[in-house]
């Protein structure tokens, strides 16, 4: 299943409901899902693995929490929209 920015044009409550639906669907169907997003929250909530791309190059790949906690460099941190020191705080917010 290929999804390209599937939550970008919906309001926040609808976004959360769709994220929950997608997570449940992934568990039930056990199919590969490629989710293209610019939103770190989407990756933290839904991804098993994340690849950070820039100009067609993979800058970093790994589990979302690990990539967010330890960006491979300033460019990765910038693309994630967070500084390395702020990433653990964002992850704690999503741990619930």
pLDDT tens, 12-62? 999 999 999 998 998 898 888 899 998 888 888 899 999 999 999 999 999
Confidence of residue 95 (pLDDT cuts 50, 70, 90): very low
Spatial CA neighbour of 45 closest among 72, 85, 18, 69? 18
pLDDT of amino acid 62: 96
The beta-strand segments (E) located in the chain are: 2-4, 34-36, 50-54, 57-62
Looking at the predicted structure, is the pLDDT value of residue 86 above 80? no
**Residues 6 or more apart from 18 whose CB is under 8 A from it?**
6, 7, 10
Spatial CA neighbour of 74 closest among 65, 83, 86? 83
Which of 7-44 are b and which e, b meaning 16 or more Cβ less than 10 Å from the residue's Cβ?
A: beeeeeeebeeebeebeeebeeeeeeeebebeebbbbb
Q: Could you tell me if 42 and 33 are in contact, meaning their C-beta atoms sit under 8 angstroms apart? A: no
């Amino acid at each position: 299943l290929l999804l390209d920015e599937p939550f970008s044009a919906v309001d926040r409550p609808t976004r959360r409901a769709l994220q929950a639906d997608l997570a449940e669907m992934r568990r039930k169907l056990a199919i590969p899902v490629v989710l293209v997003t610019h939103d770190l929250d989407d990756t933290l909530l839904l991804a098993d693995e994340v690849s950070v791309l820039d100009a067609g190059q993979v800058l970093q790949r790994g589990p979302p929490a690990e990539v967010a906690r330890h960006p491979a460099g300033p460019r990765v941190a910038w693309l994630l929209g967070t500084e390395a020191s702020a990433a653990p705080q964002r992850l704690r917010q999503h741990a619930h």
